[in-house]
């Protein structure tokens, strides 16, 4: 338990009263990892704790929330951005969001959890057959109308209409938000063509960034980040979903480091401080990419 941090207030009574169940292996034994983590980004009046499964090592919130919708009021990822902002973000996040030109010409792509739709738009501009998914129905409709591409919000519709039809499925900083990521990957596996690829990116809570900033690590993003799966969990997910684990890579992304600097100095995220430190953050995370990981899962050809 060298990384455990119980905070100043101890474990909340709700956590102590509920039985732990690992989201990945269903293990029942756990140890405290971080207790009483406040929202240092949007300042929602929620405090959460994280535990580590003693069987598979998954770090997850405990208890796992049943309804997370209130965590996303005013969440900036879902807001429409200007063309200049989108261009700048495309440049800044090129290591996180692979260029659509990396995918084979004519590929059918699903961007699962597409946020404000900028990657969907980039794929469309490149000539790919792109579909988006966002669980909020009204948000999905607005995106679909604005982008002129299908953006679905119903998982059952996705399963019924698009089973076995996608060459590529991407999830960019989505898995850590899910309260049941195993069932999500079971769905995604059914949506892939034989030979198809799932690429997903998650924050790496075992990184030097986390060890440096701890509960002020911007990528902790409590309470919105529910769990922090690793390569070991990617292998378990792949095996249970009929997929093959095809690799892991470190992802250079300045937001985690830059956002953490402002939180460490002022106790909360500051956009001004983030922009001021962006050149430093960009350089540091390019030289020492550790704060995020990308995983590849493949459906083997028959």
Q: Which helix (H) or strand (E) holds 251?
A: strand 244-251
Per CATH, the number for 81-208+234-298 is 3.40.50.150
- Global confidence as pTM: 0.90
Q: Dihedral of the CA atoms 53, 65, 136, 170 (nearest 10)?
A: -10
pLDDT recorded at residue 6:
54
Quick check: 180 pLDDT over 70?
A: yes
Asked whether the beta carbons of 49 and 62 are under 8 A apart, the reply is: yes
Quick check: 8 pLDDT over 60?
A: no
The per-residue pLDDT for range 84-125, each reduced to its tens digit, is 666 666 666 667 888 899 898 889 999 999 988 989 999 999
Q: Is the dihedral of CA 136, 172, 240, 29 positive or negative?
A: negative
Query: pLDDT-derived band of residue 74, with 50, 70 and 90 as boundaries?
Result: confident
Q: What is the average per-residue pLDDT within 222-236?
A: 97
Q: Which of 232, 231, 124, 246 is nearest to 195 (CA)?
A: 246
What phi-psi label fits residue 80: left (phi over 0), alpha (psi between -120 and 50 degrees) or beta? beta
pLDDT recorded at residue 15:
47
Query: pLDDT-derived band of residue 9, with 50, 70 and 90 as boundaries?
Result: very low
Report the DSSP beta bridge partners of residue 298: 197, 244
pLDDT recorded at residue 1:
40
pLDDT recorded at residue 80:
59
pLDDT recorded at residue 5:
65
The per-residue pLDDT for range 39-54, each reduced to its tens digit, is 999 999 999 999 999 9
Quick check: 171 pLDDT over 80?
A: yes
Domain spans, the chain: 81-208+234-298
Cβ count near 47 (within 10 Å): 15
Could you write out the three-class secondary structure of 9-55?
Answer: CCCCHHHHHCCCCCCCCCCCCEEEEEEEEECCCCCCCCEEEEEEECC
């Amino acid at each position: 338990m060298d990384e455990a941090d119980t905070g100043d207030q101890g474990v909340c009574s709700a956590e102590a009263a509920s039985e732990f169940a690992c989201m990945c292996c269903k293990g029942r034994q756990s140890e405290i990892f971080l207790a009483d983590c406040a929202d240092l980004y949007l300042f929602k009046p929620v405090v959460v704790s994280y535990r580590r499964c003693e069987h598979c090592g998954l770090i997850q919130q405990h208890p796992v929330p049943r309804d997370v919708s209130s965590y996303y009021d005013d969440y900036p990822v879902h807001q429409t951005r200007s063309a200049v902002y989108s261009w700048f973000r495309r440049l800044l996040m090129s290591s996180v969001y692979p260029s659509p030109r990396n995918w084979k010409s004519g590929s059918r792509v699903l961007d699962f959890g597409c946020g404000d739709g900028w990657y969907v738009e980039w794929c469309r501009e490149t000539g790919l057959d792109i579909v988006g998914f966002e669980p909020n129905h009204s948000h999905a409709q607005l995106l679909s109308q604005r982008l002129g591409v299908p953006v679905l919000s119903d998982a059952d519709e996705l399963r019924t209409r698009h089973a076995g039809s996608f060459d590529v499925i991407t999830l960019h900083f989505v898995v850590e938000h899910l309260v049941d990521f195993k069932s999500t990957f079971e769905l995604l596996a059914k949506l892939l063509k034989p030979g198809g690829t799932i690429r997903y990116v998650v924050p790496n809570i075992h990184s030097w960034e986390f060890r440096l900033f701890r509960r002020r690590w911007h990528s902790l993003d409590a309470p919105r980040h529910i769990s922090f799966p690793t390569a070991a969990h990617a292998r378990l997910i792949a095996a249970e979903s009929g997929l093959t684990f095809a690799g892991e890579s470190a992802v250079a992304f300045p937001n985690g480091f830059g956002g953490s600097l402002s939180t460490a100095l002022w106790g909360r995220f500051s956009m001004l401080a983030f922009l001021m430190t962006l050149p430093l953050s960009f350089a540091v995370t390019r030289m020492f990419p550790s704060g995020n990981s990308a995983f590849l899962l493949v459906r083997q050809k028959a």
